[in-house]
Amino acid sequence: MSTSGQGRGPTVLLDTYGRVATDLRVSLTDRCNLRCTYCMPEEGLQWLGKSDLLTDDEIVRLIRIAVTQLGITEVRFTGGEPLLRPGLVGIVERCAALEPRPKMSLTTNGIGLGRTAQALKAAGLDRVNVSLDTLRPEVFKTLTRRDRHKDVIQGMAAAREAGLTPVKVNAVLMPGLNDDEAPDLLAWAVENEYELRFIEQMPLDAQHGWKRDGMITAGDILESLRTRFTLTEEGADERGSAPAERWVVDGGPATVGVIASVTRPFCGACDRTRLTADGQIRTCLFATEESDLRSALRSGAPDEEIARLWKVAMWGKKAGSGLDDPSFLQPDRPMSAIGG
């Protein structure tokens, strides 16, 4: 197939390695109300200006094009912190009305879920992923530079009660801070019927302070969990294109996942495309290039042209993240700008 995804090819987001993107990650804002040490400095960042951000209408239009013309079946709203987006509930409601209707989820720090979970469920959101790295309030304050641990716990409970399930918990372990908490986190997640996912710390911090040496690896996490639990691997058939390798805990039904982005990359099965809060298409979290859709939107381009530009962008997706290459360069834009 020649430049396939570039014009009259199939209405999917295909790349030259035969992967098809069906999962769209949409960053709604680069702002966040936490200052996690592995994401941004204590003073925060230079935020995008309001005119740089996509409007609610522009976001919904791009999602509509992705769903109706490009084969996207799942949409994940991210940030920054997406609950800081004033129009979030309306965006979810409008996307829930699309035909075909995409599955919709949200990745959040959980602080605002206590007051928004019911409205998000009513609007059509299916489930949430909540970031929580520790069960210790004092460690949470050190990691996030904010004293909001109680709010996150309450927000997760509100999401569960609203039916935004399964509530998935994303945890990053940091040396010397919470690296001993894996078993406690899993016991707590099983007790509360949350699905826990440990994620290796990735080089996406604004300070570019990430170091491969000393990071807590998937192997370290599994070794720690096995001191208290019996883990049975689910296997590749169950995993599909999901980034998490999953294990059944003590015979089930609970499972735990480990996303080994650094030590065991899963690029060969990647099915994601990413839209930043300022309207750029990214083919990978670690991409060093972006493709501009905002300019096309604001210059009056029809849907078909925007779809074509999106196909061209994804056709150029690289084989892998390059994390295992000694010459790897960390992206200039931090996680908060890219969307997790």
Can you say which residues are annotated as belonging to the binding site for GTP?
25, 76, 107, 168, 272-274
- What values do phi and psi take at 105, rounded to 5? -140, 175
Q: What angle do CA 270, 273, 274 make, to 5 degrees?
A: 130
Nearest Cα to Cα of residue 239 among 218, 259, 223: 259
Side chain identity at residue 32, one-letter code = C
98 token code pair? 């699309």
Instruction: Look at the block and give the residue holding tokens 């720090």.
Output: 109
In the annotated binding site, the residues are: 25, 32, 36, 38-39, 76, 80, 107, 131, 168, 202, 267, 270, 272-274, 284
**Spacing of C-alpha 218 from chain mean position:** 18
Cα–Cα distance between 87 and 92 in angstroms, integer?
9
Cα–Cα distance between 125 and 95 in angstroms, integer?
9
On the CB side of 107, how many CA atoms lie within 13 Å of its CA? 22
In the annotated binding site for S-adenosyl-L-methionine, the residues are: 38, 80, 131, 202
Burial 37-60 (b: 16+ CB within 10 A, else e): bbbbeeeebebbeeeebbebeebb
Peptide bond into 166 cis (omega under 30): yes
> Coil, strand, or helix at residue 220?
helix
Instruction: Look at the block and give the residue holding tokens 């309207």.
Output: 279
In the annotated binding site for [4Fe-4S] cluster, the residues are: 32, 36, 39, 267, 270, 284
